[in-house]
Homo-oligomer: A and B are copies of this chain.
């Protein structure tokens, strides 16, 4: 297709949805992708750019001039525009902003850039439809026709006082089902949900998903309407959040994808592997400390992988449930009652598993005392592992640290060490070594 047949290519690509064009571009090499971006008009390409993979977008933007980027940005909603500008290198940012011709758009983007990315302000768009409480339905409809042209999707219409204070909302449906002469103040719903511009995006996501909202207005401390956040941005936030937690649980510390370079992937993976290495060395030192038991009870050493694995698995299970509960905000009751419950649960699981282990060791080794020592240790190890898995994320959360880092390698490694230490200590006591 790449044989310079520009016209045909242009017609072909215009038939695709911009998300599909972006997918095609992600597959092409940089020169081809830049070529196509320059070929299409900025109305289409600005949408395509937004849908591109972040790494690819960055590279394509490097190949465009300040003026070309400013033209793309002109076509975007303010929230997307601010996101793209944030991705540019420091030195090009100001130049691009000054090249935006529409002065209002320029000022709005400057405002958005001032907010922290992780707050409602960093996510909101300035595009919204607002009406003043004193307008009539007929006047309102007339003016909305003007405002709505700039807004891709209307959702709610926000009702403000003449000081721009948010006091209510309306749906387009309310408006078209109302009588022309009614006052806005009379038909507006005053129970409007909103978030503060400094609220954390995760809280915004929680509010929107709890109340099933599709858009939420953003206000400042004086209730002045500043912008709105739509559900599609929140869907992206939720997805990123879920992916981050999943990767943390698997021991991957940066946001990486399967297609990233080996170097990027190594940087994301090796810190956790180092942690595992240190844990393994710790386990080695513990076992070395018990090496005298070796001559008589070598069998004890053959069960360390089992003990370590069980400690790790139980720890990950209990921490995962707590991390998820914290994320969904449905962990109730005190830490103590939570630990008590986990202790009972772990004891139940531990006893069931220990019975099987006891039978296996007894039958295979014909040595009930050793079998007993190993099985009792397993129960204690599982209980301790469950308690650690429950306590650590709750503790981190209380301290304001993301509890998701507590799952995965961190819990596994510490439980490995504690497990092996407990195991040898108990076995030594029971067997009287």
A residues near B (Cβ < 8 Å) are: 17, 19, 27, 141, 144-145, 148-149, 151, 153-154, 171-173, 176-177, 191, 193, 209-212, 214, 231-232, 234-236, 238-239, 242-243, 245-247, 249-252, 256-259, 262, 265-266, 269-270, 272-274, 276-277, 279-281, 283-284, 287-288, 291, 294, 298-299, 301-310, 312-314, 316-317, 319-322, 324-325, 328, 330-332, 338, 341, 344-345, 348-349, 352-353, 356-357, 360, 407-409, 412-413, 416, 420
Q: How far is the CA of A111 from the CA of B258 in the complex (A)?
A: 42
Counted per complex, copies of this chain come to 2
Say yes or no: A304 contacts B306, CB within 8 Å. no
Knowing A262-B341, A348-B266, A408-B316, say if A413 contacts B301 (CB, 8 Å).
no
Contacting residue for A305 out of B305, B316, B328, CB 8 A: B305
Residues of chain B within 8 A of A141, CB atoms compared: 176
Contacting residue for A360 out of B235, B281, B413, B416, CB 8 A: B281
In the assembled complex, 23 residue pairs joining A and B whose CB atoms fall closer than 8 Å, in A order, are: A19-B210, A153-B173, A154-B173, A172-B172, A209-B232, A212-B232, A251-B317, A258-B321, A258-B330, A270-B349, A272-B317, A273-B314, A274-B353, A274-B356, A276-B309, A277-B310, A277-B357, A280-B303, A283-B309, A284-B302, A304-B304, A305-B420, A309-B412
Contacting residue for A321 out of B27, B153, B257, B331, CB 8 A: B257
Knowing A272-B313, A281-B306, A345-B265, say if A249 contacts B251 (CB, 8 Å).
no
Q: How far is the CA of A320 from the CA of B245 in the complex (A)?
A: 11
Say yes or no: B305 contacts A280, CB within 8 Å. yes
Say yes or no: A145 contacts B177, CB within 8 Å. yes
A366 CB to nearest B CB, Å: 14
Residues of chain B within 8 A of A288, CB atoms compared: 299, 302
Contacting residue for A306 out of B191, B277, B321, CB 8 A: B277
Instruction: In the A-B complex, list the 10 residue pairs whose CB atoms are closest, starting with the nearest.
Output: A280-B306, A250-B320, A258-B325, A242-B242, A283-B305, A287-B302, A212-B232, A172-B172, A284-B302, A276-B313
Closest to A265 in B: B345
Residues of chain B within 8 A of A356, CB atoms compared: 274, 277
Say yes or no: B305 contacts A262, CB within 8 Å. no
Residues of chain B within 8 A of A256, CB atoms compared: 321
Residues of chain B within 8 A of A149, CB atoms compared: 177
Say yes or no: A306 contacts B283, CB within 8 Å. yes
Say yes or no: B332 contacts A246, CB within 8 Å. no
Residues of chain B within 8 A of A309, CB atoms compared: 276, 279-280, 283, 308, 312, 412-413, 416
Say yes or no: B302 contacts A305, CB within 8 Å. no
Residues of chain B within 8 A of A214, CB atoms compared: 153, 214, 231-232
Say yes or no: A251 contacts B310, CB within 8 Å. no
Contacting residue for A259 out of B212, B287, B305, B332, CB 8 A: B332
A242 CB to nearest B CB, Å: 4
Say yes or no: A250 contacts B316, CB within 8 Å. yes
Q: How far is the CA of A149 from the CA of B332 in the complex (A)?
A: 39
Knowing A17-B191, A177-B149, A251-B313, say if A269 contacts B349 (CB, 8 Å).
yes
Knowing A262-B344, A302-B288, A412-B313, say if A307 contacts B280 (CB, 8 Å).
yes
Q: How far is the CA of A405 from the CA of B141 in the complex (A)?
A: 54
